[in-house]
Structure 1
Amino acid sequence: MNACEWTASITALANALACRLTEEELNLVAATLTQLGDTLITIAARKNLCGS
């Protein structure tokens, strides 16, 4: 999957979730995925700096 296909897939997933979730559920999912992304970036940065 190339970068354009990847981003299109993410957009499609976001649209599908947005159509099926309440505003409160959508806010919770968004906050959870943001935290997941931030944590993954932190782990990757630590591995890069300190090694595995």
Structure 2
Amino acid sequence: MLIDLDSPESVDRAADEVIALTDNRLYGIFNNAGYGVYGPLFHHQP
């Protein structure tokens, strides 16, 4: 499931989908959101 964490609407849609798929019995969640940097680090500003 993809979620745009900057979009409250996206988070709400995902929550509704999880509730429907689990019959409102979600016992845990794993947040695997992250940020990636591609290329050599010296090309990126801090």
TM-score surpassing 0.5?
A: no
Higher helix share: 1
Higher CA-based Rg = 2
TM-score (norm 1): 0.37
